[in-house]
Amino acid sequence: MVRHRSGSKTRSPLWFLVVAVVAALALVAAGCGSDDDEASGTDTTATGGTDTTATGSCDGSIWVLLPDSASSPRWETDDRKYFDEAFNDADVEHTIVNAEGDATTQQSQAEQAIADGAKVIVMTSIDTGSGAAIVDQAKEAGVEVIEYDRFNTGGSGGAAYVSFDNVQVGRKMAEALEPAIDDLGVDKPAVVMLNGGEEDNNSFQFRAGYAETVEARVDADEWTLAADQHVPGWGANGEGQTIMEQVLTDAGNEVNGVFAANDNLAQQAINALEAAGVGTIPVSGQDASAAGMQNIALGKQTVSVYKPIQDEAKVAADVAVALCSGDDFQQVATDYASDLDSGGASVSIIGIDAATGEATESAEGDGVVPYVALVPIGVTVDNMADTVVADGFRTIEEICTGDTADTDFCQENS
């Protein structure tokens, strides 16, 4: 494989395949046309997405199945873009589609991928049950599956799982929120755990990360737990705000911190807090979305966990190309880890149990799927410029709009 050049760096041949795979995957996920002049062939009949093909060293096609555009803006604004860039650069035939939250649609997309002769499917599932069924069906047809960002329990497991260390995501939230809550000076502050959807195995891992801190403080009689609730569909239809409104009603508005599992839920919690007239309190989030960065600059949100999606997507693309080419994808992933685009992430190869979704120290063993785990970064107002902005993941221009332009962060960094 051939790596592309980025700035003054010279990348290895393996990078080109990764980039190509990523780019192709991104096209399928977005469900819209590519900006690449070489992209061609738009087909939305059965996939609700874009079909872009190219000719490359991978003797076959790679499909990327994205989940929706409502639970988080990242799938369309970030993942699609990075997959598309990588696969186009590598000249790998690829298709990227988005199921828009419909498990039946995603099943149809998977069936079309199999029928079209895909060699590898990269999938972020709608829910773990339907995702596991797709994994098993694809494997029976001889198609390799990479479970991307979300793992699917209850099935036989794919060839690989590429994601961030999800427990560490929750820990990064707690690292920022714990001192912020203590600094309030409130006697036994009441906190809320506003978790992701139960249909997503990741939500339990994120919760496990921040629950370590919350439960220890509650057990020590230092904090109280006002609520611990999962939000269906990650609040894609505003469910998080409704739940948070009820929590505030039940607690008489006496809430002092919210462990929200992503920026979308953080925004919904902030909406409920503002509507109830509750002052600004520590709130966590995840995905380093533009809205999340604005909330942090405005002081409405304390932290968002930055999972450099450019790294995650490109590593997944590299693994997909390796699988398509018959190469050792674990070696590919670890080789690529030394050349990540972001300024802070890293990669390790561990394992994840196909039945329970729990991480294991080794990638070997019955029922264990190799887990290509990236390490996330907690972003606060103090390091935003040095992380997401320095990496080019977010720009000052997109953050510093409207009221945010008047914040200290924007005045200092514009």
Summarised one tens digit per residue, pLDDT across range 256-294 is: 999 999 999 999 999 999 999 998 999 999 999 999 999
Share of the chain above pLDDT 70, in %: 84
Predicted TM-score of the model (pTM): 0.74
Question: Residue 195: CB partners within 8 Å, gap ≥ 6?
Answer: 203, 204, 206, 207, 228, 229, 230, 231, 261
Give, in words, the CATH class of 13-164+308-374: alpha beta
Summarised one tens digit per residue, pLDDT across range 79-106 is: 999 999 988 888 899 999 999 999 999 9
Per DSSP, what are the bridge partners of residue 148?
Answer: 162
19 or 328: whose pLDDT is higher?
A: 328
Contact 66, 110 (CB under 8 A): no
Question: Cα dihedral angle (204, 206, 212, 214), rounded to 10 degrees?
Answer: -100
Distances in whole angstroms, Cα of residue 268 to Cα of each of 132, 203, 226, 283, 402: 30, 17, 17, 11, 19
Whole-angstrom distance, CA of residue 376 vs CA of residue 171 = 10
Whole-angstrom distance, CA of residue 383 vs CA of residue 402 = 22
What integer pLDDT is reported at residue 329 of this predicted model?
A: 87
What integer pLDDT is reported at residue 20 of this predicted model?
A: 42
Summarised one tens digit per residue, pLDDT across range 119-161 is: 999 999 999 999 999 999 999 999 999 999 999 998 899 999 9
**Domain 167-307+381-413 CATH (choose: 3.40.50.720, 3.30.420.40, 1.10.357.10, 3.40.50.2300):** 3.40.50.2300
Q: Calculate the average pLDDT of the chain.
A: 86
Contact 251, 226 (CB under 8 A): yes
For the chain, give every residue range classified as CATH 3.40.50.2300. 13-164+308-374, 167-307+381-413
Nearest residue to 244 (alpha-carbon basis) of 214, 225, 265, 263? 265
> Does 47 have pLDDT greater than 90?
no
Confidence of residue 414 (pLDDT cuts 50, 70, 90): confident
Summarised one tens digit per residue, pLDDT across range 350-402 is: 999 999 998 888 889 999 999 999 889 999 999 999 999 998 889 999 999 99
What integer pLDDT is reported at residue 19 of this predicted model?
A: 39
Whole-angstrom distance, CA of residue 176 vs CA of residue 178 = 6
Whole-angstrom distance, CA of residue 1 vs CA of residue 90 = 8
